[in-house]
Structure 1
Amino acid sequence: MNTALVLVDIQNDYFKGGRNELFNTDQAATHAQEALSLFREKGLPVVHIQCILLENNATFFLPDTEGIEIHERVKPQAGEKVIVKHTPDSFFQTELQSYLESINVTRLVIGGMMSHICIDSTVRTAHRLGYEVILLGEACTTRDLVWKDNVIPAKTVHDTFMASLQDTFAQVIDTGSLYDTI
């Protein structure tokens, strides 16, 4: 089984000082970096997803800004594929599926940002397309949400989305378990 690592939107705007700072980005980046190091060590394919928002009302991931750059802790190396997207789903109107097919990938290990939008939509589409999906829960993060004037803490949002994806759409694991998985 050919396995690829897909790191979604680990970009500067989500980190301290960025235009849309998330919860515990350094912790999530540490786990993503650990997975990236393992894939590089084993010579397995790595795909970096980079979001650039083109809507007039976008407030982050704006074209030609430092915020769209992939964070230095998981910066792509030569030979690692970078795919630009403009919507939450990493597959929608991108070359991700055709690229994965071209290298015969059947299993994806996914990590990145934000758990409740881009990770959720990417994982669900990957499952629908027939990929076996392993989701690195510790290598993902999100932000607080507000619903009916109630603040839902980022940790609760993240945990809820990991629980909703577990078993039906993905196998959600800790990064340390990855060593026994690939």
Structure 2
Amino acid sequence: MAAERSWTRHEGKPGGYQRVPFELGRSCLVIVDVQRYWTEPSGPFGSGIEAGFPDIFAYFYDRLARTVRPNLARLLGLYRANGLPVVHVVTGSAREDGTDFLFHMQRRFARGGKAAGSFNALRIGSEWHAEADELTPQPGEIVVNKTTRSAFNSTGIDQLLRHMRVEQLVVGGLASNACVQATAQDGADRGYETFLAEDCCAAFSVESHAPVFDNFHWIFGSVLLTSDIVGAGGARS
């Protein structure tokens, strides 16, 4: 799908996004929810779906291992090498009972948490709340913790980005049709020139993943591949 760049078929259609060029030096990398809760097959999410949804389990963890995690690590290295801002977005509860999450998230994560021996496996500071090892934040990289799908609705990310004079966002992470989509669209609606890195994202099926990028490229911003971003003029990877 990525090789076909299927999302480009919407360019020029009525109501479409007025495209702007990607400029690495004006951008911030935003990594969404690439946490051990989801990334580890033996973690709360993986162990909870392996038996009941083997097709989702196989697709999701194969895409994470072969595509998403290597590409995110590559982009993170690029931004670090060029001294550009990085924001790590994570989902987590400050409360043992998870009651600071959205109500439906409280119920969902409470069920998932039991598989890991904890009522709330996404409690801040837990082993499952941490990002995947290769994405561990370095000093100077901002980490914001959200309790909603969109990072813009429950964190100070907007103000932080404006303080850093960020004008463009590159967004990748999990899941394409949930927290990534919500965060990217909210960023676009707040005036950031927003780019979704398609091969840095995963959902639980191709059918739930692909439409996100078609619609985003048509209405909200632009979809790029990792190679496009790495190939931006003057980049040091």
Query: TM above 0.5, one fold?
Result: yes
- Out of 101-110 and 56-65, give the one that drifted further: 56-65
The question of 1:25 aligning with 2:49 is answered: no
Give the residue type in structure 2 aligned to 1:108.
Answer: L
Return the structure number with greater relative CO, CA threshold 8 A, min gap 6: 2
Structure 2 counterpart of 1:172, which letter? V
1:176 is displaced (CA, Å) by 0.6
2:194 alignment partner, SS class: strand
Deviation (angstroms), 1:170: 2.0
Is contact 2:91–2:122 with CA below 8 Å preserved after alignment? Answer: no
Query: How far did residue 32 of structure 1 move?
Result: 0.7
Work out whether 1:114 is the aligned partner of 2:175.
yes
Q: CA separation in 1, counterparts of 2:231 and 2:70? A: 19
Tell me how far 1:162 sits from its aligned partner: 1.3
Q: Flag as ranges the 4+ runs of structure 1 deviating above 4 A.
A: none
| One-letter amino acid of the structure 2 residue matched with residue 127 of structure 1 | A
Structure of greater Rg:
2
Q: Partner amino acid for 2:28?
A: A
Q: Kindly indicate which of the two structures has a greater share of residues assigned to helix.
A: 2
Give the TM-score of the pair, scaled to structure 2.
Answer: 0.69
The alignment yields a C-alpha RMSD, in angstroms, of 1.6
Whether contact under 8 Å (1:14, 1:25) holds in the other structure is no
| 2:75 aligned counterpart, secondary structure | helix
Alignment of 1:1-182 (within 5 A): 2-15=26-39, 16-21=41-46, 23=60, 24-26=63-65, 27-53=67-93, 54-55=98-99, 56-57=106-107, 58=109, 59-60=112-113, 61-63=121-123, 64-143=125-204, 154-181=205-232
Q: TM-score, normalised by structure 1?
A: 0.88
Distance in 2, Cα, partners of 1:10 & 1:33: 11
Which structure has greater strand proportion? 1
Deviation of 1:17 after TM superposition, in Å, equals 1.2
**Cα distance per residue 1:60-88 (max 9 Å; x no partner):** 55214311111101110111000010111
Q: Which residue number in structure 1 is paired with residue 50 of structure 2?
A: none
Q: CA deviation at 1:179?
A: 2.1
Give aligned-pair identity as a percent.
26
Give the gaps of 5 or more residues in structure 1.
144-153
